[in-house]
Structure 1
Amino acid sequence: MTLRYKILAGILILAVTLLIAAEATKPEPVNWFPSYGKIDKIPFGTYIFYDQLSSIVDKDRLEEVNIPPFEFIDSTKMGTYFFLNSSVYNDEAEAQKLLEWVASGNTLFIAANTVSKTLLDTLNLSTAYYSTTKLIKKRPLVNLSNPQLKSRSPYLLDKDVSTTYFDEIDTLKTTVLGVFDLMKDEDSTQIKEPKINFIATPFKKGTIIINTFAEGFTNAFMLKEGNARYTAGALTYLPANGKIYLDHNYKNSKAVAESPLYIILNNKYLKWAWYTLLLTTVIWVLFEGKRKQRSIEIIKPLPNQTLDYTRTIAGMYLDKKDNRQIAIHQINHFMEYIRSTFILATDKKDQDFIEKLAAKSNISVLEIKNTIDFINTLKPKAVITEDELIQLNSYIENFKKYHQDGRIN
């Protein structure tokens, strides 16, 4: 390696090192992705909720489900099915199966901003998105309706989020469990215009509970002082007995990393160590390859001498003027061509043979009969003239040509 290359390599490595150091020491930005994943510690993950759930509900009652409800539900599963995500959209078939399961005496608890339309229509419910142009900040205030669970001051999520509420309910059957409003005039001490976001409604022998404020179960909400009481209060509506099936299929972020690089790329220090390794490898390949590269000798391939050999053998026969031997070779070669191409035995060249060959080759019976008759005439002869040899070759070449061209009678 020349001095010039060494200087350039040193400058490049120094620049990369400074860039990596600057990136590694830069504060990592907050990830506001609404993952709702069990292991996610980001603001809208649910690590705290699932970590504290066993202190609110008996751990033996909890069972995690990682497959779709359509596959999981059967007559042996009794209890409560708990869904938590920004959106829980069950298709029509799955929604009907969930409703049948609830109808047999089970409970469905859904905490999601968006719920399957099939479920809403069946329960005579309708949701709407609440927004106002008067407010710069759209930070929700929530509270529970039960006087024993209701807080004097509502619970605040100090983050602008989309808000969904029930604008239409079946008042004869539906019980309002909680309300919300957007914080107005920097006043977080009261809900001025309550809107329903938490309801329970009976369905035949079972119960369906829906909370459209899914953020109330996330890390960002529960870490704010006092907010965990809202989440705990919402969970009091779970049945006191029976299994609780925790859904992990309807999650924006799956609970288990599927790629080995997940750990590396989601850790700032491991990520930059990985990038450094890749860059160092590329630099080493470039400079080491230049140093060791050598010209490769071109080896000519062996010539194909089959054609020369054929010409030599043909010349030997022509020089001897042994027309009969040449004719016998041509006939034998032609018979082998018929056997391999048309899968026909050539020991008997009778009328049946001629008809079968005509059918398979798509050549007229008359042309094939003329060729076979001429061959049968030549074979017994002790001397064959050049004209006869040329005529034989003409018959054979015409047969092959007609067959390859697909001549139709």
Structure 2
Amino acid sequence: MSKRYKVMAGVLIAFLAVLILAEASQPEPINWFKGYGKQDKIPFGTYVFHEQLPSVINANRIEEVNIPPFEFLQDSTLPAGSTYFFLNGSVYNDATESNKLLEWVGRGNTLFVSAGSISKTILDSLWLGLNFYSETANQKKRPLVNFTNPRLKAERPFRLNKDVGTVYFDEIDTLKTTVLGVFDLIRDNDSSQIKKPKVNFIKTPYKNGTVYLHTFPEGFTNVFMLDSTNAEYTAKALSYLPDDGTIYLDQYYKNSKEYAVSPLRLILTNKYLKWSWYLLILVAILWVIFEGKRKQRSIPVIQPLPNKTLDYTRTIAGMYLDKKDNRQIAMHQINHILEHIRSVYTLSTERFSQDFVEKLTAKSGKPQSEIKTLVDYIILIRQKAVVSEDELIKLNTLVENFKNTH
């Protein structure tokens, strides 16, 4: 990396670090997600509720359930007189699971559901109807809640100081259903009374058991319980639960799961770790851009070595010609043609017999007379002590004719 690139990278990293530091130093925005998770300390989590629950109900009676109700209720050893407690923004059991729950309730158990959306199968089985309450004339959607029982009813209704959607029972079986709680929206900034009550908490029997339905799950959240005396409302709502028997707290139907589904959740939920993680990624990207480029010095052009074979041959031939050593040149010529025969036709050249001539004729495709003339002349030259220039030329002619006509 050149010095210029290093300076640019340093300035860019410093600029990004300042931006990240400025962002990380900002106060973390409030998370208004309605998670209802027991581990969530956000406004609409239920951390406070689960922390305070053992002070209202004996902890030995509480058992958490992390599997679907249909699967949990398959256990035939569950004791009678128990309570199944659901708390979430929506608890929508399908028809099969709803019937399984009602069947379990009918054997003398209790079902308590606090949710803004409840299974239609359960509502239809209990002759109930839900409706979303909205009043366009009232811009604020901050609910007031209270009980109908004179012993539990507070002088001033309990207030949630946050705009939320509200649901109420618009159809109930008045012969069987008991109204336990009502709500209304704040009107004219007057939170001292509920002027137009709507039913949001009921009790209804089902065979040998009891069903409690509560459409204000926000009453069990952190933001509600930590505001003024609102925790009193939560405790009074729980007072309707049976005094004995196991209470099964559902942890399956939750908008926010207790266990992280991503390994990075711990990092991304902490703003300091999150911005450190982002900075690490940015630095890695910059490294790839500036340092990850292929580095290679220029490769010098190397000229191939020239073929000196022809020059060498000419030099050697010139030496022999200058010395007039025709026989030595002839021997080289003979050795050359014999090596050619061995390598091309795979024939042994130790003996020049009639069989050798016939095989060379067959493999080379040349006339046998030509092959015979070449072989006889090679034998003749080998026997001579002195080779004339004409004989050397004739040998060369025979060799070249044999090779060139191939």
Could you state the TM-score of these two structures normalised by the residue count of structure 2?
A: 0.72
d(CA) in 1 for partners of 2:296, 2:218: 61
SS of 1:289's equivalent in the other structure is coil
**Counterpart residue identity of residue 191, structure 2:** S
Structure 1 residue 61 corresponds to structure 2 residue 37: no
Shift of 1:294: 6.0
| Greater alpha carbon shift after TM alignment, 270-279 vs 118-127 | 270-279
SS of 1:176's equivalent in the other structure is strand
Instruction: Map residues 294-373 of structure 1 onto 2, 5 A cutoff.
Output: none
d(CA) in 2 for partners of 1:216, 1:223: 11
Structure 1 residue 228 corresponds to structure 2 residue 228: no
Shift of 1:284: 2.5
Residue aligning to 2:320: none
Shift of 1:75: 2.8
Shift of 1:320: 6.0
Q: 2:288 aligns with which of 285, 302, 307?
A: 285
Structure 1 residue 32 corresponds to structure 2 residue 32: yes
Residue aligning to 1:76: 77
**Counterpart residue identity of residue 176, structure 1:** V
Structure 1 residue 262 corresponds to structure 2 residue 265: yes
**Counterpart residue identity of residue 274, structure 2:** K
Residue aligning to 1:341: none
Q: 1:189 aligns with which of 177, 181, 192?
A: 192
Residue aligning to 1:204: 207
Deviation digits for residues 276-325 of structure 1 (CA, Å, limit 9, x no counterpart): 1122222223333337456899xxxxxxxxxxxxxx99xx9xx769xxxx
CA 1:293/1:265 → structure 2, altered by over 3 Å: closer, same or farther? farther
d(CA) in 2 for partners of 1:291, 1:13: 22
Residue aligning to 2:106: 103
Shift of 1:31: 0.7
Number of aligned pairs?
Answer: 303
d(CA) in 2 for partners of 1:258, 1:95: 27
CA 1:293/1:100 → structure 2, altered by over 3 Å: closer, same or farther? farther
**Counterpart residue identity of residue 55, structure 2:** S
d(CA) in 2 for partners of 1:157, 1:262: 30
Residue aligning to 2:277: 274
Instruction: Map residues 86-165 of structure 1 onto 2, 5 A cutoff.
Output: 86-165=89-168
Residue aligning to 2:16: 16
d(CA) in 2 for partners of 1:295, 1:76: 80
Unaligned runs of 5+ in 1: 298-311, 322-409
d(CA) in 1 for partners of 2:297, 2:117: 65
Shift of 1:168: 0.9
Q: 1:175 aligns with which of 178, 185, 192?
A: 178
Identity %: 63
**Counterpart residue identity of residue 84, structure 1:** L
Instruction: Map residues 370-385 of structure 1 onto 2, 5 A cutoff.
Output: none
d(CA) in 2 for partners of 1:244, 1:320: 103
d(CA) in 2 for partners of 1:42, 1:235: 22
| Greater alpha carbon shift after TM alignment, 4-13 vs 283-292 | 283-292
Deviation digits for residues 7-65 of structure 1 (CA, Å, limit 9, x no counterpart): 21121011111111111011211111100011001111111001111111111111111
RMSD over equivalenced CA pairs, Å: 2.0
Structure 1 residue 50 corresponds to structure 2 residue 50: yes
CA 1:290/1:76 → structure 2, altered by over 3 Å: closer, same or farther? same
**Counterpart residue identity of residue 286, structure 1:** I
Shift of 1:234: 0.2
d(CA) in 1 for partners of 2:47, 2:212: 22
Residue aligning to 2:253: 250
Unaligned runs of 5+ in 2: 301-343, 346-358, 365-406
Could you state the TM-score of these two structures normalised by the residue count of structure 1?
A: 0.71
**Counterpart residue identity of residue 77, structure 1:** L
SS of 1:242's equivalent in the other structure is coil
d(CA) in 2 for partners of 1:173, 1:132: 30
Q: Greater Rg, structure 1 or structure 2?
A: 2
Deviation digits for residues 357-381 of structure 1 (CA, Å, limit 9, x no counterpart): xxxxxxxxxxxxxxxxxxxxxxxxx
Shift of 1:171: 0.7
d(CA) in 1 for partners of 2:100, 2:363: 92
CA 1:199/1:8 → structure 2, altered by over 3 Å: closer, same or farther? same
